[in-house]
Amino acid sequence: MRSNTDRNSRVGDESSSELGTLDGALDVSFSVGPFRLLLWSAAAGSAAWGLLAPYFRDAEGALRGTVCLPIAIAVALGVLGFGVSTKWKTAAAWLALGVVGQAVALQMIVAGIEIRYAHYRLVGTLISDSPWLLATLAFQTIAVSVGFRNRFALVFKWLTRNFRFWQLSAIALAFVLTGTTVSRDTGYYVQEVIFATFVQTLNLINILLVAWSLPNSVLASLRSFAARLNGTGTFGISRTKLLVILLGILAAALSALLSFVSYERHPHLGDEVAYLYHARYLATGALWMPTPSVLPAFNLDLFDFDATRWYATPPVGWPLVLAIGVFLNADWLVNPVLTGISVILAYVLVQELYDRRTALLTAILLTASPWFILVGMSFMTHTSSLAFGLAAAVAMLRARRNDSISWALASGAAVGMVGLIRPLEGAIIGVLIGLWVVGLGGNRLKLPGIAAWIAGCGTVGAIIFCYNYVLTGSPTKFPIMVWADKYMGVNSNAMGFGPERGAGWPIDPYPGHSPFEALINANLNTAAINTELFGWATGSLILVIFLCFSERLRRSDLLMAALLIGVFIAHCFYWFSGGPDFAARYWFLMIVPLVVLSVRGAECLIDRLKNEPGVSLAGSRVLIAVALLSLMALVNFLPWRAIDKYHRYLRMRPDIIDLAKTYNFGRSLVLIRGKRFPDFASAAIYNPIDLQAGSPVFAFDENPDLRHQVLKVYRDRPVWIVDGPSRTNAGFEIAEGPVSADVLLEREPPGGR
């Protein structure tokens, strides 16, 4: 009797023989060279069309998100050109279709620079607005249906043989419910869920056809290449470790590139403005700034004041870290550097808990995660919280293994830093690592190690209480909570349920906070993660869902799940989901566990396919499918999201500083007309810490009375009047100037406008 291996090899070789026959037919009908040249010429033409045609640019000449479709077509044609004369020509064709299919699906989504959750346009709207998108989707559907028709029975038998009915039902339900966010319009939501499920299923089958079509010889070559990573590389370091270091550098470089090109090294959220301003005065050694004589002309969101002090109210941890970048004149590089460090720390952590292969795959997928890279390009707190959390976990594992007091102290200090940056996350990490300290899941630290860990937590964590006392007069009163109580209402920002919770924002589902709203927030965050964790056309959580209902969880998987559950439960008691900014940003600590569980899901799938008739080299096929999904996301999703959403997100932009250089504002007063956010906030971040310094001072021109007060204070300076983006629907534009402050005071007395 032949072994399963022999049978699998024979079945795998059948596709190779079919491809050989097809090669012969191609040789008879035409020469491959000219056809490849034609495909590559068409690819170049599609790319040039996208980059040069005015249709793909806005009124200012900046690329729009629609450019990603012709670029995707160019990539698809390039793939076809490479594959046309190879053994993997069929796989190349399916891959090209998948690349274009994902790009088309993204063009059906309404996202953009406004603060809103992304949703699919429904079929009726697409028929009237973009019928060619639906036509392309229909072509993909027909092609995939034809290609899959003879394989459906095999897949169905495998599913029913490996899973019970309840497991298949649970997997299907999770797959459907994570496809899109809830809507206030129930009818719209039902239609969108159906459409999103269809699109994800179509792309899942498409990538399955790619993996199924790859010849064994190609897979064997790739497996041989992967095996060579186990050797020793340059400087005596293993090739795997060198690869991880390169992955860290790549992640940092990608985040830095997007920060420079898409984010324009400029804060885009009110939170980021506060963080960066905070970091700038901390870098000078000050804990606050003098209260401006005309405060309303300079005040910003999340800033508070008293008679003599003006200060940012968010926790001090992240601004302290960011101040290092400010001091080095590289504030925009702090998060990208932490992004790269996080990749390396994640590898070390996962290798300790699992094995080297799982750790390497985790590092690769983390580097390819659009969510990870996009958060890393920002000025937000989440990357630093993740980096210190990973450092705390790695140090604790080393402390438990070596019974090291110094590692225990380092772990505690890192936990304390997480608490300084995001206090709630510090509590979550502190509780989970504290369970490790007392022996859960391994050896308990000895008393000196426990004391060192507590000392590390306490010493660093005490900074926040000292800081609170200096600013609010009480160690337990956080400036951000005092600010929220003052401007949003008492207990508006507190944890727990109640009608007084919340700020009344349009994206807050309901007034107050309740368990039902906690479920809505959970849906918003889960659907966002499914979209942005990997940017996969199949949905990013598919492997996690598969693992959770496979009954194959290991003890280390349960540790990962514990962090997921801890973050989820803690944030159930907070009224806001985090909004659509940077996906489920309040759940960002989940990213490493989710990546790890995705890798474990792939490993579980490989294990169930090992001896499956008709599937040869199952492990290689699964890993190649995962790799191709991530490559497709880097081609399609990441640039689409960076261009369509984050370039000048919320109309925040840095071109006021270009105007200042072009027109040599010098020691002047610049009055910004428009809204406090985004117009004044975009300019205010370039104000000097000393508002009497000999450089441009940007003030908010809210009304005639405020203008009059500011002009009197800065009477000795020439004045420029600038309209902000909300007035121009473009960039900052000079409305008038330079003009004397006295002229303006005489021309427009208080109340005269």
SS3 track for 13-42:
HHHHHHHHHHHHHHHHHCCHHHHHHHHHHH
Inter-helix orientation angle 317-327/270-283, to 10°: 60
State the pLDDT at residue 230: 64
H helices present in 295-333, as ranges: 317-327
Exposed / middle / buried, residue 86 (Cβ in 10 Å: 0-12, 13-18, 19+): middle
Residue 229, C-beta contacts closer than 8 angstroms, at least 6 positions apart:
239, 240, 243, 360
- As a whole number of angstroms, the distance between CA 549 and CA 329 comes to 49
Task: State yes or no: pLDDT of 426 exceeds 70.
Answer: yes
The DSSP H or E segment spanning 580 is none
- Rounded to whole angstroms, how far apart are CA atoms 158 and 161? 5
- The Cα 401–Cα 109 span in angstroms is 49
How much is the mean pLDDT over the chain? 91
Share of the chain above pLDDT 70, in %: 93
Q: How far apart are CA 734 and CA 731, in angstroms?
A: 10
Sign of CA dihedral 702, 703, 705, 709: positive
Q: Put the strands of the sheet holding 718-723 in their side by side order.
A: 697-700, 669-673, 718-723, 733-740
Mean pLDDT of the 626-650 span: 96
pLDDT tens profile 352-392 = 999 999 999 999 999 999 999 999 999 999 999 999 999 99
Amino acid at 560: M
Closest CA to 387 of 408, 361, 357, 366: 366
d(CA 246, CA 642): 23
pLDDT in tens, 14-50: 444 333 433 443 343 446 778 889 999 999 999 999 9
d(CA 528, CA 581): 10
Q: Which residue has the tokens 């007035």?
A: 727
Q: What 8-state DSSP symbol labels residue 232?
A: B
Contacts of 595 (CB under 8 A, 6+ apart): 346, 362, 365, 366, 369, 533
Q: Looking at residues 622-645, what average pLDDT do you find?
A: 96
What is the amino acid identity at position 635? V
Segments making up each domain of the chain, as ranges: 4-167+177-223+613-649, 239-380, 488-608, 653-747
3-state secondary structure of 673: strand
Query: So what's the pLDDT on residue 737?
Result: 86
Q: pLDDT tens digits for 440-480?
A: 767 788 899 999 999 999 999 999 999 999 999 999 999 99
Say which residue the tokens 């509590």 belong to. 427
CA distance 669 to 252: 38
